[in-house]
Amino acid sequence: MKENQTPIFVLAWVTLEGERDKLGHGGKVVFVEHPERGWEIPGGHLEEGETPDKALLRELKEETGLEGIILHWNKEYYPKGWVAHVVTHPTESQEWNVNDDNVRMVKWWDEIPPLREWTREEFTDLTEWCSSL
């Protein structure tokens, strides 16, 4: 996809503020469990008239209850979608406020979760991308 094209979908690679450099070394990433696809990062399709930023933050809120700050976009990894590195603040006790029927569970992972649709390579590539920012 050319960088100036609007994506069809957006995904959020969510880390805790201050832990970007710790991915793979105790840092964590948020994954949501889809009933059929298994563990994946939050995200979804843009609604009509929606910007990628607004779509990503809406999907993140619906799927996890989290609010975050978009730091960087990777517009090249997926042919029709963009991945954003998003940071959020740690909380004492994490309560997930899910407003999406396609999310069974939300969890912070510090390792590659059991995958069905995703590949280990995607997790590794996105970890490396985020750590290099």
Domains (range + CATH), the chain: 9-132 (3.90.79.10)
Please give the helix or strand (H or E) that residue 70 lies within, else none: strand 69-74
20-24, 91-95, 103-107 — which is least confidently predicted? Answer: 20-24
Whole-number pLDDT of residue 43: 96
Helix (H) / strand (E) containing 56:
helix 52-64
| Cα–Cα distance for residue pair 32/40, rounded to 1 Å | 6
Residues found in the chain: 133
- Please determine, for residue 51, whether its predicted confidence score (pLDDT) is greater than 60: yes
- Report pTM: 0.87
Amino acid at 130: C
CA distance 75 to 10: 9
Give the phi and the psi of residue 86 in degrees, each rounded to 5: -120, 135
